[in-house]
Amino acid sequence: MQGLSRRSLFAACLACGGAHMGLSATPVQAQGQAQSGWSPPPSAQRCPSRFGAADRRGYMNLLDDAKRKAAAAMIQEGKTIELGRRLEATMPFFGTRRFDQHLKRTFMNPEPNTRGSNEEIVISEIGQVGTQLDAFPHQTIGDEIYNCVKFDSIATRGGFREMGVDGIGTVFTRGVMFDIAALKGVRTLPINYEITVADLEGAAQRQEVKIERADAVIINTGWGVHWGADNAQYVRGCPGIGIAAAEWIIRQEPVLIGSDNWPVEVAPNPDRNASLPVHQIALVVHGVHLLENMKLDELAERRLYRFAFMMQPLKIAGGTGSTVAPTALF
């Protein structure tokens, strides 16, 4: 295999895309930068956060009027690309998560203008299905949420008293996408492929982009090709950023990290003793939101790597997350 280029190795190992192209392959793991033996830092090392012991917003504190104004200036053509998935029963789901929509035919009003009306009843875990934003209470390290807040101290039957998704507000900032699938010359990265710092740096150089403070950082793995087409494959595992890559991104101060897979990070993690560690690193240790199940195919086809990014979570009081419909504007 030493005679093959890195790109050739990936072309020969399409693992996930192979299901759509009549190919089969063996998953490939990134070499050299995978971290093993990771464990969450103790409370004394991660708290208080850089924003103070009373902080509940994390890196969203970095998003200010100047950043929003700069993002607005990026809109030159007045065009948009939707980055959210449709909510429907054919989506991929985990465990008991569901989305059931039932048409509710109401009545024909008696007035001469014959106004009829229709509604629907939706039975769903609305915070954790479809394209979704994770709020800080979604994940813990032991019994602690972001900034070492004890889970039980803010949890109520009706939601969390602090750090609920309803407090995030409108996110309008610069978006930057790293197209790792394109970097490797494949439709989709292989299942379980760990995106490394070297991959991110390679994409940055190829695309001539860099992360700026308070950006929304988006990772295209190509894994979205399975959405609604092979849901079992989609949720079986996925390529995504590893621990080192997540820490590299967070050092550059983004307000969120998003991807076209279901956990943003590689799953399962190469370190079998670590269960979705990037969730803990981003949400609990640092206070950086995660945006999952994005629709990035059109963005990738257009090679649109910089854009204005807009997203508004639902005002679910004390919610652990929200279905969202983010948009790229350019």
Q: Provide the residue range defining the domain that includes 156.
A: 6-32+57-90+125-329
Q: For the purposes of burial, counting CB atoms within 10 Å of the CB of 290, is it exposed (0-12), middle (13-18) or buried (19 or more)?
A: buried
Q: How many CA atoms lie within 13 A of 105 on its CB side?
A: 1
Residue 327 CB neighbour total at 10 angstroms = 18
Asked whether residue 168 is assigned to any structural domain, the reply reads: yes
Which segments of the chain have a pLDDT < 50? 1-35
CA gap 261, 46 in Å, rounded: 28
Closest CA to 174 of 221, 210, 222, 135: 210
- How much of the chain is helix, strand and coil, in % rounded to 5? 25, 20, 50
Asked whether residue 282 is assigned to any structural domain, the reply reads: yes
pLDDT digits (tens, 9 = 90+) for 151-183: 999 999 999 999 999 999 999 999 999 999 999
Asked whether residue 276 is assigned to any structural domain, the reply reads: yes
Asked whether residue 267 is assigned to any structural domain, the reply reads: yes
Q: 241 with 249: CB under 8 angstroms?
A: yes
Count of domains forming the chain: 1
Three-state DSSP state, 10: helix
DSSP strand pairing (327-329 vs 171-179): unpaired
CA gap 24, 17 in Å, rounded: 9
Length of the chain: 330
pLDDT value at residue 36? 56
Asked whether residue 47 is assigned to any structural domain, the reply reads: no
Asked whether residue 100 is assigned to any structural domain, the reply reads: no
Asked whether residue 51 is assigned to any structural domain, the reply reads: no
Rounded-to-10 torsion of CA 90, 94, 96, 97: -60
CA gap 292, 269 in Å, rounded: 17
pLDDT digits (tens, 9 = 90+) for 202-253: 999 999 999 999 999 999 999 999 999 999 999 999 999 999 999 999 999 9
Q: For the purposes of burial, counting CB atoms within 10 Å of the CB of 237, is it exposed (0-12), middle (13-18) or buried (19 or more)?
A: buried
Asked whether residue 110 is assigned to any structural domain, the reply reads: no
φ/ψ (deg, to 5) at 281: -60, -50
> What is the CATH number for 162?
3.50.30.50
CA gap 227, 328 in Å, rounded: 20
Sign (positive or negative) of CA dihedral 197, 138, 95, 297: negative
CA gap 15, 189 in Å, rounded: 7
DSSP for 253-322, written as a single string: --SEEEESSSSSB-BS-SSTT-SSHHHIIIIIII--EEEES---HHHHHTT--EEEEEE-----TT-SEE
Whether cis (ω within 30° of 0) applies to the bond prior to 48 is: yes
